[in-house]
Amino acid sequence: MEKGAIDTPNSRFGVRWRGFDQGEVNSFIQQMTDEIRDLKIESSTLKRTLQEQEKELKEFKERENTIRNVLMNAHKSIEQMKANAEKEARLILSEAELKAEKTLQAAQQRLGQLHEDIAELKRHRILLETRLRSIILSYQQILDTDKERDKENNTEDKVQAPNGQ
């Protein structure tokens, strides 16, 4: 028998003169026995329900903890991915700035070289123009000298021709 259980159906009472009506007492005892049995069944059912609900609550708490951990890990992962993306973006930006600076320096050097080349070409042009003018002047002088010789020769030929005839 369970602790605190009462063996109601087997309970017997002594009979006294002027005591209670035995039929009513037995009827009351039967009602109490039925009520106690129903309460025990209900209590047992409630205990099982409580155990099941406690088990479910434990499972829900475990799920909640798991979900909380997953969310925390996801948050950490997102923060880490964000930090990594920011680092990578800064790195890409730095590399792009460095590349742009190198490209700009190369362009400036090329521009400087082109200016030097242009200046050198201008010097060559001036030198060539000077040489060409000098050559043209020399040929002009030669032509003028030849023209004067021809003129002198013609004049001498004219002068000699009348005397020599």
Q: C-alpha distances in angstroms, 49 versus 9, 44, 161? A: 29, 9, 159
**Looking at residue 44, what is its pLDDT?**
96
pLDDT at 95: 95
Q: What is the C-alpha to C-alpha distance for residues 77 and 83, in angstroms, rounded to an integer?
A: 10
Question: Residue with structure tokens 């964000």?
Answer: 82
Q: Consecutive 10-residue runs of the chain (165 residues): their mean pLDDT?
A: 58 68 88 95 96 96 96 96 96 95 95 94 93 92 88 74 55
Residue with tokens 């880490």: 80
pLDDT given at position 97: 95
Q: Is 32 exposed, middle or buried (0-12, 13-18, 19+ CB in 10 A)?
A: middle
The answer to whether the beta carbons of residues 25 and 1 sit under 8 Å apart is no
Burial letters 126-157, b for 16+ CB under 10 A, else e: eeeeeeeeeeeeeeeeeeeeeeeeeeeeeeee
Locate 66 and state its tokens: 């798991």
Q: Among 142, 13, 7, 74, which residue's Cα sits nearest to residue 134?
A: 142
Q: Provide the sign of the torsion angle of the four alpha carbons 69, 71, 72, 76, taken in this order.
A: positive
Name residues whose C-beta falls within 8 Å of residue 1's C-beta, 6 or more positions apart in sequence: 7
pLDDT value of position 30? 93
Full-model pTM: 0.44
